[in-house]
Amino acid sequence: MAVLTFEKTLGAHPFFKDLLPIHLDTVVGCAANVVFPAGEFIFREDQPADRFFVVRHGKAAVEIFAPGRGPVTIDTVEEGEVLGWSWLFPPYMAHFDVRALTLVRALSLDGACLRAKCEKDPALGYELMKRFNQVVVQRLEATRMQLLDLYGNGRG
Amino acid sequence: MATAAVETADGPGRATDPLRPEPFVVKQVTKEAGDTFTLALVPAAGGRFRRFAPGQFNMLYVFGVGEVPISISGDPARPELLVHTIRAVGTTTRALQKLGKGDQVGVRGPFGTAWPVDEAHGQDVLIVAGGIGLAPLRPALYHVLLHRGLYGRVVLLYGARTPKDILYARELRDWRSRFDLDVEVTVDRATMEWQGAVGVVTKLVTRAPLDPASALAFICGPEVMIRFAAMALQGRGVPDRRLFVSMERNMKCAVGICGHCQFGRHFVCKDGPVFRYDAIHPFFGMREV
Amino acid sequence: MEPGDRAVIPASQLEPLIGALRQRGYTVVGPRPRDGAVVYDVLDGASDLPVGWTDLQAGGSYRLEKSDSPAYFGFRVGPHSWKQLLHPPTLTRWRARRDDGGFTIDDTEPAPPRYAFLGVRACELSAIRIQDRVFLGGPYVDASYRTRREGAFLVAVNCAEAGGTCFCASMKTGPRVGPGFDLALTELLDGGRHDFLLEVGTKEGAEVAGELRSRPAAEPDLAASEAASRHAEETMGRRLETEGLPELLCRRYEDPRWDEVARRCLACANCTMVCPTCFCATVEDVTDLRGQEAERRRRWDSCFTLDFSYVHGGSIRTSPGARYRQWITHKLATWHDQFGTSGCVGCGRCITWCPVGIDITEEARALQGLESQGG
């Protein structure tokens, strides 16, 4: 029963849209439901982060702690979006703090489990890579715009 | 789109020469975020107030210092109070910042084209503002809210630098509490206290409730932000003829005869500042036009 | 006499012509030699004209030479144009003074002198008509320009020979003058005589002509006049192919040719100052030292200056290539969208007075050539 619910939930999430049912089935095997109360850390900088999350409800803040400035939020991730890509590359450690701003309900996907399945089924691996690349590219473009500090005092 | 108004003296009386500043008096000064402030002006004794259309601008003159183009950011239904939100970034704007209640300002205008609030009847209205770009859009929002029944869904997307830089914060909260208006605010970066979205305003565009076939989008902000917002809207399927942007160029005469504000074939002071995107699209992305 | 009449006056009638105009209250301005060029300045009499002088013009080069011809108008156009009288380089728009609480503005303008322009060439007459459209034809009418324009009396002159940088024939603005003159003169030196064919354009022109000693023009006079214009047409120093040019320029916005021009262009703004149609001007606010009195002035400006396109944070057109592109695209392309005609009259001044000899016709040709090569 629990597995069926996961499939429906995963399949409905924008990140996994149009994934082949057989691939969805494989991914589900690495999935678990998680809930983070508001204020709790989802990732900690320089800590093991061998999983990623598919956010179903709530908002999480990606933070960098700057000495003298405190934690600076540089991105927020909301429902429909994906959180965490450190599971893709060794040493599978988080580079940023991520904290739940509100209560966050998500599906957590185990990195080691997924990596093993991708090695066995490269077609699944390629599908996941394609989707992650798109997420990373979008975040990079947005970050570049934030870099311009358009509303700052210089040109803008 | 409203046609360029070269002079709009209200009521009977001598037609004003658009090259001659009329004396207005500062009624109220409001400090906004950072180096931004708002001046509310009334005509000097014996003067007449001027009607304006949302999106138009005035040339504000400080005696002996200089003159700058500033968008009107007040309510078009209450033209007796002429409101301008200004960033103090140069000699004249810093001189405007030093003005207090009772001080006199020279006003020429209103000039330029307006947000197509009439063309938007029966349509959804999506307002996308970045930074001080919210100021020239506020009159359009006032107008739409005053005639709310004529419009479909109304959405305001606003991006600011940090939570401290959010313009019209109190008003934004009031707007947010309305049931007939969607308001989403994002900042480029924030501290822990901020519970809202962090990221560029274009991210809000990709998530906004939007029917591309029946929405008109009004975009204002730094030119880079406009380009990316337009791209994001095009990505949602909104055609260029349903996008409107407000442009900024160096202005001196404001009546189309000094040549400074040219952008391709257009004079931004009289063919703009509000342009339909399909009229300027090929040139908008080109460098140094 | 009536508008449309054609008469012949001996060259000696130039003096009475100038006198008649001064009698009517005009300050007569025309060509005179000064500082090695033919400039426009006040004329006291016909002897002030550059009799026997001719000019040799080429890219970046202007030389006055004595010729053995007795012609009064044996030269082309110099660095000045009539825009300096109709659209003066500096103009005070209004004065303001502080009073209690604020300030008061006085925008009354003293009446400017009424000028008679003696020696308006075909290209210049076209340029005046073009500036009429800019200052009088839009939603905003420039009152200063209108006052000066309405007060001006135009005596046009048909060129008998074109100059080294002339291309009015390509722009269809000459060599024969079009409508808009009060009087038009064509210098006739055929067969050893020295006369002028006089054409009457307006009622006032007829009145002035009526005060001169003239006889009706005969067939040989008209033939000589036409021969002069034909000779001018055949001696054009430059050519410009205008067919499809506006669209072409708008297609070549990202052409590397602009970088090529940028390597040569000094952004000195000479071209915009000598161009008879360039109208860009800036607004200057000045104040006295005590801060009690202020003035707003209009001053000629140029799209070649870095400040021209300044918005807070920086200028839009920083590279010289982009500024040159702005100038030539405005002149030859977007002017059509804005005012219904080309902005160029083919007078060649920009070519002559460019210190490095950048040639508008050559730049256009380069872009046209690049496109036909599939570039």
* Mean pLDDT across C343-364: 98
* Mean pLDDT across A29-50: 93
- Residue-wise pLDDT tens digits, B13-51: 345 789 999 999 999 999 998 899 999 999 998 888 889
Q: Is the dihedral of CA C75, C124, C335, B286 positive or negative?
A: positive
Contact (CB<8Å) C253/B289:
yes
| C83 belongs to a structural domain | yes
B to C CB pairs, distance under 8 Å: 121
Q: Does C313 touch chain A (CB under 8 A)?
A: yes
- Residue-wise pLDDT tens digits, C247-270: 999 999 999 999 999 999 999 999
A to C CB pairs, distance under 8 Å: 4
Range of the domain at A7: 2-147
pLDDT: which is higher, B226 or A89:
B226
- Classify B2 as helix, strand or coil: coil
Quick one: which H or E segment has residue C328?
helix C320-329
Amino acid at A48: P
* Mean pLDDT across B55-76: 97
Verify that C140 and C197 share a domain, yes or no.
yes
Predicted local distance difference test score (pLDDT) of residue C230: 97
Rounded CA separation C181/C119 (Å): 11
Last residue of a domain, one of C189, C206, C234: C234
Q: How far is C315 from chain A (nearest CA, A)?
A: 9
* B90, B257, B262 member nearest C330 (Cβ): B262
Contact (CB<8Å) C316/B283:
no
Closest Cα in chain A to C313: A155
Q: Are C161 and C231 in contact (CB under 8 A)?
A: yes
Nearest to A75 by CA among A121, A138, A128, A14: A138
- Residue-wise pLDDT tens digits, C26-85: 999 999 999 999 999 999 999 999 999 999 999 999 999 999 999 999 999 999 999 999
Contact (CB<8Å) A70/B160:
no
Closest Cα in chain C to A154: C313
Instruction: With a cut of 70, say whether residue C300 has pLDDT above it.
Output: yes
Chain B residues touching A63 at Cβ < 8 A: 192
Q: What is the 3-state secondary structure (H, E, C) of C35-86?
A: CCEEEEEECCCHHHCCCCEEEEEECCEEEEEECCCCCCCCCCCCCCCCHHHH
Predicted local distance difference test score (pLDDT) of residue B12: 34
Kindly indicate the confidence band of residue B10, based on its pLDDT and cuts at 50, 70 and 90.
very low
Range of the domain at C287: 245-372
Q: Are C46 and C119 in contact (CB under 8 A)?
A: no
Kindly indicate the confidence band of residue C114, based on its pLDDT and cuts at 50, 70 and 90.
very high
Verify that C280 and C133 share a domain, yes or no.
no
| C36 belongs to a structural domain | yes
Chain C residues touching A149 at Cβ < 8 A: none
Q: Are B22-111 and B124-246 in the same CATH fold? A: no
Contact (CB<8Å) B256/C291:
no
Contact (CB<8Å) C279/B259:
yes
Contact (CB<8Å) C316/B61:
no
User: Could you tell me the strand order of the sheet in which C90-99 lies?
Assistant: C102-106, C90-99, C293-300, C281-287
Rounded CA separation B248/B268 (Å): 7
Contact (CB<8Å) C310/B250:
yes
Contact (CB<8Å) B255/C254:
no
* B20, B63, B102 member nearest C103 (Cβ): B63
B131, two tokens: 């930074």
| A133 belongs to a structural domain | yes
A64, two tokens: 């960098």
| Assigned CATH for B124-246 | 3.40.50.80
- Residue-wise pLDDT tens digits, B156-183: 999 999 999 999 999 999 999 999 999 9
Q: Are C112 and C86 in contact (CB under 8 A)?
A: no
Q: Write the ipTM.
A: 0.94
Kindly indicate the confidence band of residue C375, based on its pLDDT and cuts at 50, 70 and 90.
low
Q: Chain B, 144-183: which have a CB under 8 Å from a chain A CB? A: 159-161, 165
Verify that C228 and C363 share a domain, yes or no.
no
Contact (CB<8Å) C98/B20:
no
Our CA dihedral for C80, C84, C87, C89, rounded to 10 degrees, sits at 110
- A85-96 burial, b at 16+ Cβ within 10 Å, e below that, comes to bbbbeeeeebeb
Verify that C212 and C256 share a domain, yes or no.
no
Rounded CA separation C222/C6 (Å): 9
Closest Cα in chain B to C287: B64
Instruction: With a cut of 50, say whether residue A26 has pLDDT above it.
Output: yes
Q: Are B223 and A152 in contact (CB under 8 A)?
A: no
Q: Are B236 and B227 in contact (CB under 8 A)?
A: no
Domain parsing of chain B, residue ranges: 22-111, 124-246
Contact (CB<8Å) B195/A70:
no
Rounded CA separation B138/A114 (Å): 50
Crossing angle of helices C14-23 and C203-210, rounded to 10°: 120
Q: Chain B, 193-212: which have a CB under 8 Å from a chain A CB? A: 194-200, 202-203, 207
Q: Is the dihedral of CA C228, C229, C231, C232 positive or negative?
A: positive
pLDDT: which is higher, A145 or C150:
C150
Average pLDDT, chain C: 96
* B20, B64, B287 member nearest C285 (Cβ): B64
Q: Are B227 and B251 in contact (CB under 8 A)?
A: no
- Residue-wise pLDDT tens digits, B136-160: 999 999 999 999 999 999 999 999 9
Q: Does A71 touch chain B (CB under 8 A)?
A: yes
| A156 belongs to a structural domain | no
Chain A residues touching C317 at Cβ < 8 A: none
Predicted local distance difference test score (pLDDT) of residue A153: 66
Chain A residues touching C313 at Cβ < 8 A: 154-156
Closest Cα in chain A to C315: A155
Kindly indicate the confidence band of residue A65, based on its pLDDT and cuts at 50, 70 and 90.
confident
Q: Does C291 touch chain A (CB under 8 A)?
A: no
| C240 belongs to a structural domain | no
Q: How far is B129 from chain A (nearest CA, A)?
A: 11
Instruction: With a cut of 50, say whether residue B72 has pLDDT above it.
Output: yes
C369, with CB counted inside 10 A (0-12, 13-18, 19+), is exposed
* B18, B19, B286 member nearest C254 (Cβ): B286
Predicted local distance difference test score (pLDDT) of residue C226: 97
Residues of B near C (CB-CB distance < 8 A)?
4, 6, 17-21, 23, 25, 44, 61, 63-67, 87, 89-90, 102-104, 106, 248-250, 252-253, 255-260, 262, 264-265, 267, 270, 283, 286-289
| C295 belongs to a structural domain | yes
Rounded CA separation A58/A140 (Å): 22
Contact (CB<8Å) A71/B192:
yes
Contact (CB<8Å) C253/B67:
no
CATH code of the domain in which A93 resides? 2.60.120.10
Predicted local distance difference test score (pLDDT) of residue B13: 36
Verify that C258 and C341 share a domain, yes or no.
yes
* Mean pLDDT across A44-66: 91
Q: Chain C, 13-72: which have a CB under 8 Å from a chain B CB? A: none
Contact (CB<8Å) C314/A155:
yes
Last residue of a domain, one of C234, C256, C276: C234
Rounded CA separation C172/C83 (Å): 20
* B18, B90, B252 member nearest C283 (Cβ): B252
Whole-structure pTM over 0.80, yes or no?
yes
Average pLDDT, chain B: 92
H-state helical runs in B147-188: 169-176
Q: Does A80 touch chain B (CB under 8 A)?
A: yes
Count how many domains chain C has. 2
Q: Does C255 touch chain B (CB under 8 A)?
A: no
Instruction: With a cut of 80, say whether residue B199 has pLDDT above it.
Output: yes
Predicted local distance difference test score (pLDDT) of residue B285: 78
Verify that C228 and C260 share a domain, yes or no.
no
Verify that C157 and C182 share a domain, yes or no.
yes
Count how many domains chain A has. 1
* A73, A150, A151 member nearest B191 (Cβ): A73
Predicted local distance difference test score (pLDDT) of residue C96: 96
Predicted local distance difference test score (pLDDT) of residue A89: 85
Which of C310, C311, C312 has the most A C-beta neighbours within 10 Å, making it the best mutation to test the interface with A?
Answer: C312
Q: Are C354 and C60 in contact (CB under 8 A)?
A: yes
Rounded CA separation C119/C159 (Å): 10
- Residue-wise pLDDT tens digits, B228-273: 999 999 999 999 999 999 999 999 999 999 999 999 999 999 999 9
- Residue-wise pLDDT tens digits, C70-95: 999 999 999 999 999 999 999 999 99
Verify that C69 and C168 share a domain, yes or no.
yes
Which of A151, A153, A155 has the most B C-beta neighbours within 10 Å, making it the best mutation to test the interface with B?
Answer: A151
- Residue-wise pLDDT tens digits, B102-114: 999 999 999 999 9
Which of B19, B94, B96 has the most C C-beta neighbours within 10 Å, making it the best mutation to test the interface with C?
Answer: B19
Report whether CATH 2.40.30.10 matches the domain B22-111. yes
